[in-house]
Chain A
Amino acid sequence: QVQLQESGPGLVKPSETLSLTCAVSGYSISSGYYWGWIRQPPGKGLEWIGSIYHSGSTYYNPSLKSRVTISVDTSKNQFSLKLSSVTAADTAVYYCARLNTAMVRYWYFDLWGRGTLVTVSS
């Protein structure tokens, strides 16, 4: 059974860098799939942050691209998110998820972590 688990600080100060890790169990990241980060501000909708392939290829939301870095550590079977220069607007529940890209006409997030709330406040 494949499971994803987010971890990281729940409180980050403004202007600092948010760092989260997603540990994958039950499946080897090196075997394939894209892996992604999605966030949801309190009371609002979902926003795709970016995706990474096990080889390290990354794709980012253009609105966040200048501040986002997603990386993968296959030895630890995990991938990570860094978001720099955070403000209160970055307060959200952050989810990691597996992105299924088997079919060209449709991609979808088939497995999700439980999410972790990150609050940006001094």
Chain B
Amino acid sequence: SSELTQDPAVSVALGQTVRITCQGDSLRSYYASWYQQKPGQAPVLVIYGKNNRPSGIPDRFSGSSSGNTASLTITGAQAEDEADYYCNSRDSSGNHFGMVFGGGTKLTVL
């Protein structure tokens, strides 16, 4: 199956902009989705498709993609954005009905 690679940890100063990236061959064929997970909670979808936000997700969250890399950008990071972030896409190997997750990025807001 395909693999998605994320930086283990990223930090950002309060109010600044941070980009979290995800790399993998499957991203040449499929868009990534992004999930935010806070300690002890289930993941929450924050970005899907080219750059779509579910209802209730602040517009400071945005997504982009180029080649084999997908990015989640938080513009004006807030203290409540401190969390683990996971990317996810369809698996481009095999029958393409599988799903694959990145290893996750721990975001610290300073």
Task: Give residues in A with beta carbon < 8 Å to B.
Answer: 36, 38, 45-48, 51, 59-63, 95, 99-100, 103, 105-110, 112-115
Interface on chain A toward B: helix, strand, loop, or mixed SS? strand
Do residues B49 and A103 form an inter-chain contact, with CB atoms below 8 A? yes
Interface on chain B toward A: helix, strand, loop, or mixed SS? loop
Chain A contacts of B99 at CB under 8 A?
36, 48, 51, 99, 107, 109
Do residues A59 and B97 form an inter-chain contact, with CB atoms below 8 A? yes
The proximity string for B residues 23-66 relative to A, scoring 1 for CB distances below 8 Å and 0 otherwise, is 00000011111010000001111001110001000000000000
Chain B contacts of A103 at CB under 8 A?
49
Do residues B98 and A106 form an inter-chain contact, with CB atoms below 8 A? no
Q: List, sorted by A's number, 30 A–B pairs whose CB atoms are closer than 8 Å.
A: A36-B99, A38-B101, A45-B103, A46-B35, A46-B88, A46-B101, A46-B104, A51-B97, A61-B1, A105-B30, A106-B30, A106-B31, A106-B32, A106-B33, A106-B50, A106-B90, A107-B30, A107-B33, A107-B89, A107-B90, A108-B33, A108-B48, A108-B88, A109-B33, A109-B45, A109-B99, A110-B45, A110-B54, A113-B42, A115-B42
Partner of A46, one of B30, B43, B89, B97: B43
